[in-house]
Amino acid sequence: MIITVCVGSSCHIKGSHSFIDYLQKAIAAYNLEQRIVLKASFCMGHCSEGISIKIDDEHMSLNNLEELKDLFNNRLVMEAEKEPCIPS
């Protein structure tokens, strides 16, 4: 699974750095380093919708860190555990 967080100027101002910080810690806490790749990207073109992220090829915009935590805990952990390990 690849999670990409926008770090373009609009998303950065809205707090995308806190998304990256949270995801780094959460991925490690759930021992998902071999199943989730965390990336950053410049503008994804959805600036007015919230902080942009992509889960593989699915784009979504989130308004705050709580929405990201809910998404991670209620969906992404389960999906990632079904993913094959990423070769080192």
Residue 41: CB partners within 8 Å, gap ≥ 6? Answer: 4, 5, 6, 7, 8, 54
Could you tell me the CATH number of the domain that includes residue 16? 3.40.30.10
Query: Quick one: pLDDT at residue 84?
Result: 81
Give the chain's length. 88
Strands 51-55 and 58-62: antiparallel
What is the 8-class DSSP label of residue 1?
Answer: -
Q: Would 88 be classed as within a structural domain?
A: no
> What domain range includes position 54?
2-82
Query: Count of domains in the chain?
Result: 1
Query: Quick one: pLDDT at residue 51?
Result: 96
Note the pLDDT tens digit of each residue in 25-79: 999 999 999 999 999 999 999 888 999 999 999 999 999 999 999 999 999 999 9
Confidence category of residue 86, pLDDT binned at 50, 70, 90: confident
Confidence category of residue 88, pLDDT binned at 50, 70, 90: low
Ramachandran angles phi, psi of 56, nearest 5°: 55, -110
Does the predicted TM-score (pTM) go above 0.85?
Answer: yes
Query: Quick one: pLDDT at residue 23?
Result: 98
Q: Would 10 be classed as within a structural domain?
A: yes
